[in-house]
Amino acid sequence: MKYNLLTGIALLFIAMGCQPKVSWVNKELSTAIYREAGSKELTAVDPEKVGFPGGRGPDHLVAYTPAFGEQTGTNEWGSEAIIRNGIVVSVGGNNSAIPADGFVISGNESASLWISQNLNVGMEIRLEGNTLQYATTENTFIVQARQTYEKVLQRFETGKMTDGQAIKDFEELVQADFDALENAREQQHIDMALMYGKQLLDRSRKLYYSSFEPRENEFRGVWVRLADKTPEELKATIKRMADAGINAILPETIYNGYAIYPSAHPLLPQLPQFKGWDPMQIMVEECAKYGMQVIPWCEMFFIGGAQSPLVKQKPEWVGKFRHGEIFAVLEPGFHYFCPSRPEVADFLLTTIDTMLQRYPIPEVQLDYIRYSLSEPWDKGFCYCDYCRKNVKKKLNFDIMAISPDDKAEWEQWNNYRANNVTRFVEQVNELLQGKHQHVGLSVDVVPHPVKSLELKFQDWGTWVKKDQVDAVYIMSYAFDNMTVSNDAESLKEIVAGTDVSQIVGLGPYMGFKPETLLEQIEISREKGADGVCLFSFNALSDEQIEALKYGPFRSL
């Protein structure tokens, strides 16, 4: 790292006709005078390779040492920190190479979030049996800053960053910070040493963020579940979004058996927290002031939990799972309307039509435009009386009497379910083409079209081919940049040759670091996406918002 970093700095400063000042990046680190320590119990060290990839199960926090093998073998659903010679050298990704001079800390679900929130490059870390001991010192900030600066220089050398003057200005400021930190250490001034260490890191991060250039005519959306209690609070939230460079708001509009606006449908009451005012109308008016789009995010067949008004008012429309209950096991407590019922489609179409007549909206977005997760097959959906009778009448077999072993019948049953969803998408498209030609249709989908079809009967590849949708938003929520890259590439291939917009949905709600968010935005761009949509605004940290404002979402 040091050789490449110094070489990059030297070449840059020689090219700019000045003498490089590099002592802050090559000076041996002094003994720390500050130390904030912590510990964490691990689920396992070198777990058995059974049950889950790499032996890492749900919520597991595990350590992999060289005794485990060359790679951790984990899947994309988690995050990892690599430790070499007692120092964290990277955070993020999965299936990491296990260093001979260190180990890997790996987590899934809540443990993944713990890694993201607690382990940083430059931290001191060691294993004591099944206990992880870690510590932050002022040197942690220096190591992070050096690594971040190295990435800046790499981006400059490859042409991704073009502002050489910003690098020169940074060098002068950060050298002063480093000198002040060293002086504070000599004087044993812990607070001052920490202040300059954090300032040095803050400068390097902002420089790195600024190396991600903004792009013209790019979709920069956020999904959001409104939590504002008054019109004034909502207006302030919209301004905060605009200040962050966001140009499209996708409010959760119809969900859990409610709507956020009044008089949506006789069966669809307004959410109680919005009684007496209309958040949708305020968003339309306020967003117009900032040049932002409002795209209602509407949940279709998923209708909430047991207390949903729709579950209570229309129990005969609620689908049934093969195990006999009306609630999902694989999606705990979820209730769905049966997608095969014509009256369900009529209800949803009427609701969409009424909304579009009332508000000037450029696009409507359909979410949960699918069946409930139906794997394993014996917990699948939907096996209600209507479906049993309808399939018996049309296909001449009882859906409760077949299994995947009955290949011909099972294929027909799967096609029946997928066709029900596709037919509804076609009906929405017909509604828009007939009465709301100015309104586009978008869908939120599982990124993998094969999995989407097999597990949830969501055949979005066919919707694209049949020109039934205007935009596809893939939900590529992962710590792992390679997963996002693969998902975006798949989307690109499927929409190739069409006018369908490609939007990559990213998951900062998972708690990954700001630089990961920017890197995933850049990956989406490189794969040809027309923009990104972040899930969700409520979950964006101040640090992530700062990264967007200094980086790819800043004004041109």
Q: Please, where are the H alpha helices in 336-480?
A: 342-358, 385-395, 407-435, 449-456, 460-465
Task: Indicate the residue type of 110.
Answer: S
- CATH code given to domain 219-375+417-550: 3.20.20.80
Please tell me the distance from the alpha carbon of residue 166 to that of residue 189, in angstroms, as a whole number.
Answer: 30
- Cβ(214)–Cβ(555) below 8 Å: yes
Cα within 13 Å of Cα(267), Cβ side: 20
Please tell me the distance from the alpha carbon of residue 251 to that of residue 26, in angstroms, as a whole number.
Answer: 49
Give, to the nearest 10 degrees, the angle between helix 407-435 and helix 342-358. Answer: 30
pLDDT of 124: 98
Neighbours of 177 (CB within 10 A): 23
Please tell me the distance from the alpha carbon of residue 254 to that of residue 352, in angstroms, as a whole number.
Answer: 10
Please tell me the distance from the alpha carbon of residue 355 to that of residue 188, in angstroms, as a whole number.
Answer: 65
Task: Give the closest residue to 443 by CA, choosing from 250, 310, 271.
Answer: 250
Q: How far apart are the first and last CA of the chain?
A: 33
Please tell me the distance from the alpha carbon of residue 294 to that of residue 299, in angstroms, as a whole number.
Answer: 16
Give, to the nearest 10 degrees, the angle between helix 190-210 and helix 138-157. Answer: 20
Phi, psi of 214 (to 5 degrees): -75, 160
Task: Indicate the residue type of 201.
Answer: L
Neighbours of 84 (CB within 10 A): 13
Task: Give the closest residue to 459 by CA, choosing from 507, 417, 412, 495.
Answer: 417
Please tell me the distance from the alpha carbon of residue 473 to that of residue 500, in angstroms, as a whole number.
Answer: 10
Listed in order, the ranges of the chain carrying CATH 3.20.20.80 are 219-375+417-550
Q: Are strands 302-304 and 335-336 parallel, antiparallel or unpaired?
A: antiparallel
Please tell me the distance from the alpha carbon of residue 486 to that of residue 498, in angstroms, as a whole number.
Answer: 20
Please tell me the distance from the alpha carbon of residue 469 to that of residue 501, in angstroms, as a whole number.
Answer: 9
pLDDT string in tens for the chain (556-residue length): 443 555 555 445 544 454 445 579 999 999 999 999 999 999 999 999 999 999 999 999 999 999 999 999 999 889 999 999 999 999 999 999 999 999 999 999 999 999 999 999 999 999 999 999 999 999 999 999 999 999 999 999 999 999 999 999 999 999 999 999 999 999 999 999 999 999 999 999 999 999 999 999 999 999 999 999 999 999 999 999 999 999 999 999 999 999 999 999 999 999 999 999 999 999 999 999 999 999 999 999 999 999 999 999 999 999 999 999 999 988 999 999 999 999 999 999 999 999 999 999 999 999 999 999 998 999 999 999 999 999 999 999 999 999 999 999 999 999 999 999 999 999 999 999 999 999 999 999 999 999 999 999 999 999 999 999 999 999 999 988 999 999 999 999 999 999 999 999 999 999 999 999 999 999 999 999 999 999 999 999 999 999 999 999 999 8
- Cβ(363)–Cβ(470) below 8 Å: yes
pLDDT of 14: 45
Please tell me the distance from the alpha carbon of residue 9 to that of residue 201, in angstroms, as a whole number.
Answer: 17
pLDDT of 4: 56
Q: Are strands 102-107 and 79-84 parallel, antiparallel or unpaired?
A: antiparallel
Please tell me the distance from the alpha carbon of residue 24 to that of residue 182, in angstroms, as a whole number.
Answer: 10
Beta-sheet strands, E only, within 145-247: 219-224
Residue found by looking up tokens 């220089």 in the block: 153
DSSP 3-state of 445: strand
Residues with Cβ within 8 Å of residue 468, at least 6 apart in sequence: 422, 425, 426, 429, 441
Cα within 13 Å of Cα(323), Cβ side: 13
Please tell me the distance from the alpha carbon of residue 14 to that of residue 151, in angstroms, as a whole number.
Answer: 19
Residues paired with residue 298 on neighbouring β-strands, in sequence order: 254, 366
